[in-house]
Amino acid sequence: MSLLEKTEKLQSSGVVKALLVTAALFVVLAGLKIATNIVVPFLLSVFIAIICNPLIVKASKYKIPKPIAIIAIIAIILTLVLLLGGLVGQSARDLSELLPEYKAQLNEQFVWLTARLAEYNIQISSDLLVEYFDPSAAMGVAASMLSGLGGVMANLLLIIITVIFMLFEAPSLPRKIHHALDDPDMKLNQIDRFLESVNNYLAIKTLVSIATGICVSLMLWLFGLEFYLLWGVLAFLLNYIPNIGSMIAAIPAVSLAVLQLGIGPAGAIGLGYITINMIMGNVIEPRYLGKGLGLSTLVVFLSLIFWGWLFGTVGMLLSVPLTMIIKIALEESKEGRWFSVLLSND
């Protein structure tokens, strides 16, 4: 066989392999899309278990029995979820009822604005302004997003039970993964680095997100803005999406501030969001996470669209953690490291 024939054969086999991988990927994605109702609660369970596991490990250092530690942590989480869920649910319902009132108020302001502009021969329709600038729409999207998350939390009992079993199985998980990857002697250090990186990333990101939500709620409460707890929870959830998450979280709160408090306080609230985001994202987070785990802004945006399409509201909220886990896994693989570099920032 000539060299040319060998080259053509290798190229054709490479093309066939790429087509097979692409086809398999589409089949897997289609299966995940169909099984969303099963996969999403499982993803939330894994997410919560990873966050809670460091607390279980910490409790074991103080000689606290694992069953007691798990029950205590689950009880705390369950209490917080029920309290916040009730308060946020009530706020979301009140906001939905007030949206027509806010829209009517906005129409009055636009009528006044177009009348002032007409005095200077600037003719703009108030209906056109409402169509292109509707803060009530932004608030409605935020309320719908939280309602969608509440629908997933209807499986709360199933999620909690799954988390409990995962926490009991957590210590044996690294050993099982080593055996599954034909490494019974535990020599593949990249497996341990991957598990440790995922644990550290999610735990630290969650703590920073909680601090962000508390700061936002406190700031809005000081300004006297309605539904400050709702916007704080939204800031906590969207803080998992770096770069653009904080901007998305600020839109409904600032929009409501324009209607309720006026343009001046709304601008101050927007400045407060920027300040909190800069401190959390540029000072606190890099100090504990480091800059080596960053994703490019384009990847963040595309992952938001992709995981949102695949898993809905929960997929959007977990888009960056899921992409981050894939990136960390690729970093530990020689074959996938090139793709990990493409996902990284500068």
Instruction: DSSP for 197-219, please give it.
Output: HHHHHHHHHHHHHHHHHHHHHHH
Would you say residue 3 has pLDDT above 60? Answer: no
Distance of alpha carbon 91 from alpha carbon 85, whole angstroms = 10
Residue 150 or residue 84, greater confidence: 84
Q: pLDDT class for 12, splitting at 50, 70, 90?
A: low
Distance of alpha carbon 292 from alpha carbon 210, whole angstroms = 22
Q: Where are the domains of the chain?
A: 38-166+189-343
- For residue 244, count other CB atoms closer than 10 A to its CB: 14
Q: What is the value of pTM for the model shown?
A: 0.71
Structure tokens at 250: 């600020």
pLDDT tens digits, residue range 110-147?
A: 666 677 767 677 666 656 655 556 655 556 566 666 66
Alpha carbons within 13 A on the beta-carbon side of 110:
19
Choose the weakest-confidence range: 19-33, 254-268, 283-297.
283-297
Contacts of 135 (CB under 8 A, 6+ apart): 102, 106, 252, 255, 256, 258, 259
- Residue 217 pLDDT: 92
pLDDT tens digits, residue range 209-243?
A: 889 999 999 999 998 888 888 888 888 888 877 66
Structure tokens at 92: 């979301």
Average pLDDT value for residue range 258-270: 82
pLDDT tens digits, residue range 63-73?
A: 888 888 888 88
**191-198 long-range contacts, Cβ below 8 Å, gap at least 24?**
191/332, 193/332, 194/328, 194/329, 194/332, 197/293, 197/328, 198/50, 198/324, 198/325, 198/328
Three-state DSSP state, 262: coil
Distance of alpha carbon 64 from alpha carbon 59, whole angstroms = 6
Average pLDDT value for residue range 190-218: 80
Going by C-alpha positions, the residue among 143, 158, 82 that lies closest to residue 313 is: 143
Yes or no: say if 160 and 127 are a contact pair by the CB < 8 Å rule.
no
Would you say residue 292 has pLDDT above 50? Answer: no
- In what helix (H) or strand (E) does residue 124 lie, and over which residues does it extend? none
Yes or no: say if 333 and 346 are a contact pair by the CB < 8 Å rule.
no
Choose the weakest-confidence range: 13-27, 89-103, 130-144, 308-322.
130-144
- Residue 215 pLDDT: 92
Number of H helices, E strands in the chain: 15, 0
Going by C-alpha positions, the residue among 233, 248, 225 that lies closest to residue 305 is: 248
- Residue 265 pLDDT: 85
Say what angle helices 3-34 and 297-317 make with each other, to 10 degrees.
40
pLDDT tens digits, residue range 100-110?
A: 777 777 677 66
CA end-to-end distance (rounded Å), the chain: 46
Distance of alpha carbon 308 from alpha carbon 8, whole angstroms = 41
- Please state, in angstroms and as integers, the Cα–Cα distance from residue 214 to each residue in 21, 128, 217, 219, following that order: 45, 37, 5, 9
Three-state DSSP state, 344: strand
Contacts of 211 (CB under 8 A, 6+ apart): 280, 284
Average pLDDT, the chain: 75
